Structure 1
Amino acid sequence: MNDLASAAAAEAAPADAGFSRMRRYYCLLILTLVATMSTLDRQIMNILLEPIRKELGLSDTQMGLLTGLAFAFVYATLCIPAARIADRWSRRKMVALAITSYSIMTIFCGMARNGLQLFVARFGVGVGEACGNSSGHALVGDLFPRRERATAMTVLMLSSPVGMALGLAFGGWALQEYGWRMAFILVGIPGLLLGPLVFFTIPEIDKGMADGVRHAPPAQPFLQTLKAMWSTRAFPYMIFGATITAMAAMGAMTWLPAFLARSHGMDHAAIGAALGASLGVGSIIGHIIGGPIIDWLGRRDLRWHLWVPMITNPVAAVLAAIAFLAPLDYVFPLLAVQMLLQGLFTAPMIAIVMNLAPVAARATASAILGFVMNIVGLGLGPQIIGIASDLLKPSFGEESLRYALLGSTALGLVGAVLYFRASLSYRADIATVDARNRAEALGS
């Protein structure tokens, strides 16, 4: 059977008829709310960065460490072990535990009295989020078949721009009204309500349910799972492309409020409202149309799953570069379009990982992606830009951050090359995965 015929056969595998569509979308809604709070808890730090830096007397390099590695190191260290536990135990319970724990640690961020205490609290936020994100991705992968998976992931990943917009807008308002400490406390409270909702209202979902797998195999040893993922030739190139792109995007996202305050003289309430609106709207539109577009194109040629980011990444990088140099009136429209282009691939990227992963190790596969993206993207992105800004400060003064951000945009071109390389073997890799899933659906 050729590649396209294999793919078509897999598309025909029905989801479990005993699990109603309404029930699926209820689970998806709750998981999306959880993921929104995860993003909000993480992103609110960006709008609070400048007042925290000034009050605690920290440098840009130290703030880069606080916003990046303090979260990313622990997230990357724990996300794979947590996913392994979820694959063997209960993904639903892991999500409930995660949102409760990182909401508590977000509240503790508002109680910090010095840089070390805030570092420890952010460390704790990373611990909580490490436990939950990959489990949520795996649950959606098991709820929806591949023909609908990118669209379902689009709904889930809307949490990212919505959480980001809320973090910036609400954070800017709360900062202006109550100060940065109370802002942390206020955003931590809703998560304490969502944890019990997940635990008591979302049922256990069989692994591979939407792929027609009746007898999902037990979770493989980690090295065996890693070998299976790495043997699909598209997977490493896709992961490295996403990671390089994330390093530039997450680094820029962290420092944008500080850039607007220093280079354009905006106050934090105005920054939060303007960034929340422009980045939020652009990213939400990208997320909404990205999954359906890629699902539609993928039904014609699976390689479009990777050709889309190959095309959009360089364009987004150029728009970001122009925004960092443009007058203020042009900055927000340019960033909105740039975020729209970046948002096109956010949900499909997770769907691709679910497509390529063994059904019994989907949380682990998502965690592998999260490990690489967070340790390099979220960990090193803000840190490198912070270091570059400090190094450029003797020459450019307060404008040093502008040029540090400008230099980071070149990474978008590197990501495009890696996505193209991943597309060369993607159809053959999907055919191999489909054959494996058909064998598991028959219980062999």
Structure 2
Amino acid sequence: MAAALPTTPLPPDAPAARGPIPWPGIASVLFLGVTAGTQMSDRGLQAVLSPAVQQAFGVSDAAIGALHGVAGILIASALAVPLARLADRFSRKRMLLVLIAAWTLLTGLSALAPNFPLYFSARAVLGVTEFAMIPVVYSLIPDLVGERFRVGANLSFAALMATGASAGFYGGGALLGWAQGLVAAGTVAGIEGWRLAMVLLSACGLPLLLLGLFTWDPPRGAQQAQAVGEPQASLAAFARTHARGILLFLGAAGGLAIAVQALTPMIALALVRRYTADLTAVGHALGTILLVTNLGSLPAAGAIDRLLRRRLQARARPAVMAVGAALSIPCAAALGLATSSSQALALVAAFLLLTCVANALIPTMLQDLLPSALRARCFAVYSFLIAAFCALGPVLSGAVSDRLAGGNLLLAIGVVAVPALAVAVLCAGLSAWRPAALQQGLAVA
């Protein structure tokens, strides 16, 4: 939920900023990052497997777009909200263990779906475990490491997730090749190679489940004692009071989400089709791009934030969102005009780096402003609202490819991304121009 509570940040020399290093909490954050990264690798693998899935089920680009957008994002994020509510009431460690076990089981089972409707449904249920885990982790991090290490822990967790997502792209082609080799050699019979690749990935969940038993389950912060019915803990009351700031933030974040998701899950299929490129090579290139742009954007965003906050104060973060979205528009517009796969990949790299910088500090901004007793639920509701925009990206790019672009997915991605980025620039620009709105909303920490 894009809602906030006014808070006063601690000065650097405040007592909460001192104290011993919370090694158990840091170790738990690292484990959770590896676990979430493994889950996110499933999304990269699915993007790489899209040509094989499309061929196996004989479905259109629009159906593949709906698989990534509606099943993988929108439905999954909606069902994750009640699970996050449980995490606000019961042990977050137990919730995480259940989610890891469910992801392991469902990843393997979804590979066995005999037709596209069942596969679509299985992917939607599987996505719930991925979407539900991230709000629980961001709820845990402040209690695991305290104020002193919170920003670094957030960025480290995001970096490990990004590494996992890029690994799904980078290693997806190799994993598919290995699985096809096992099938061709008769080592594994009665299953297609792309299905076996999913089963092999699901096996990674077993050691993670065992390691999860040793993670720390900290008590909740002091704000847990607040009554949910108090005005400062009421999401509905805050939404009514700060509707303008919330809408501006959602417009900026939502526009960026549409543009990014119009590209990321569809780009492997687009490059293979347009340039008849090798799937393994495309996967390696995309994996490297995702890793470099995501990891590079995190320290860059942190440095830019520290620099600009001294000068621009409340205008800084919406200004960064506006500039990042504006600079990425030419990259998206030129994508359909690329004459080679290398040109297209260079444009993808620039586009992802700019949009990643624009979005890097959103989790920290949410943590600053949300009460501890509602934190996991708020992250889940916010994730659902953004997921509604994310789902539009691949759905629209697939539909435009089928109906308007004659199967030119690269052109379709640009057609969808450019107006979405323009909306993001407008909303973020208005927020930076009138920062008081966001002081009452989400984007000011």
Partner of 2:188: none
2:70 touches 2:395 (CA, 8 Å); kept in 1?
Answer: yes
Q: Which moved more, 1:417-426 or 1:339-348?
A: 417-426
Partner of 1:157: 158
Shift in Å, 1:141: 3.5
1:251 touches 1:382 (CA, 8 Å); kept in 2?
Answer: yes
In 2, Cα distance between equivalents of 1:10 and 1:235 = 27
Q: 1:323 aligns with which of 323, 326, 335?
A: 335
**What is the DSSP-based 3-state SS (H/G/I as helix, E as strand, rest coil) of the residue aligned with 1:240?**
helix
In 2, Cα distance between equivalents of 1:10 and 1:365 = 26
Shift in Å, 1:347: 3.2
2:293 touches 2:352 (CA, 8 Å); kept in 1?
Answer: yes
Shift in Å, 1:188: 1.5
Question: Cα–Cα, structure 1 residues 52 and 430, in superposed 2: closer, same or farther, change >3 Å?
Answer: closer
Partner of 2:260: 249
The answer to whether the aligner puts 1:237 opposite 2:248 as a matched pair is: yes
Question: Cα–Cα, structure 1 residues 118 and 363, in superposed 2: closer, same or farther, change >3 Å?
Answer: same
**What is the DSSP-based 3-state SS (H/G/I as helix, E as strand, rest coil) of the residue aligned with 1:254?**
coil
The answer to whether the aligner puts 1:407 opposite 2:415 as a matched pair is: yes
**What is the DSSP-based 3-state SS (H/G/I as helix, E as strand, rest coil) of the residue aligned with 2:225?**
coil
Question: Cα–Cα, structure 1 residues 374 and 159, in superposed 2: closer, same or farther, change >3 Å?
Answer: farther
2:36 touches 2:130 (CA, 8 Å); kept in 1?
Answer: no
Partner of 1:442: none
TM, length-normalised to structure 1: 0.85
The answer to whether the aligner puts 1:185 opposite 2:195 as a matched pair is: no
What pairs with 1:35-434 in structure 2 (closer than 5 Å)? 35-143=36-144, 149-178=150-179, 179-208=193-222, 216-219=225-228, 224-228=234-238, 231-232=241-242, 234-298=245-309, 300=311, 301-328=313-340, 329-377=342-390, 379-392=391-404, 396-399=405-408, 401-410=409-418, 411-423=420-432, 424-425=435-436, 428-429=439-440
Shift in Å, 1:259: 0.7
Q: Which moved more, 1:317-326 or 1:140-149?
A: 140-149
1:230 touches 1:236 (CA, 8 Å); kept in 2?
Answer: no
Shift in Å, 1:78: 1.8
Percent of aligned positions that are identical: 26
Greater share of helix: 1
**What is the DSSP-based 3-state SS (H/G/I as helix, E as strand, rest coil) of the residue aligned with 2:226?**
coil
2:262 touches 2:394 (CA, 8 Å); kept in 1?
Answer: yes
1:103 touches 1:125 (CA, 8 Å); kept in 2?
Answer: no
Shift in Å, 1:75: 1.9
**What is the DSSP-based 3-state SS (H/G/I as helix, E as strand, rest coil) of the residue aligned with 1:112?**
coil
Question: Cα–Cα, structure 1 residues 426 and 183, in superposed 2: closer, same or farther, change >3 Å?
Answer: farther
2:252 touches 2:321 (CA, 8 Å); kept in 1?
Answer: no
TM, length-normalised to structure 2: 0.85
In 1, Cα distance between equivalents of 2:123 and 2:40 = 13
In 1, Cα distance between equivalents of 2:438 and 2:74 = 34
Which residues of structure 1 form unaligned runs of 5+? Answer: 435-444
In 2, Cα distance between equivalents of 1:180 and 1:384 = 26
Shift in Å, 1:412: 1.0
In 1, Cα distance between equivalents of 2:197 and 2:175 = 5
Shift in Å, 1:285: 0.8
Encode CA deviations 1:276-310: one digit per residue, 9 max, x unaligned: 11232122211232234324533552431222111
What pairs with 1:24-35 in structure 2 (closer than 5 Å)? 24-35=25-36
Encode CA deviations 1:295-328: one digit per residue, 9 max, x unaligned: 4533552431222111111112222322332222
1:41 touches 1:167 (CA, 8 Å); kept in 2?
Answer: yes
Give the root-mean-square deviation of aligned CA atoms: 2.8
Total equivalences in the alignment:
419
1:239 touches 1:369 (CA, 8 Å); kept in 2?
Answer: no
Question: Cα–Cα, structure 1 residues 254 and 9, in superposed 2: closer, same or farther, change >3 Å?
Answer: closer
Shift in Å, 1:230: 5.6
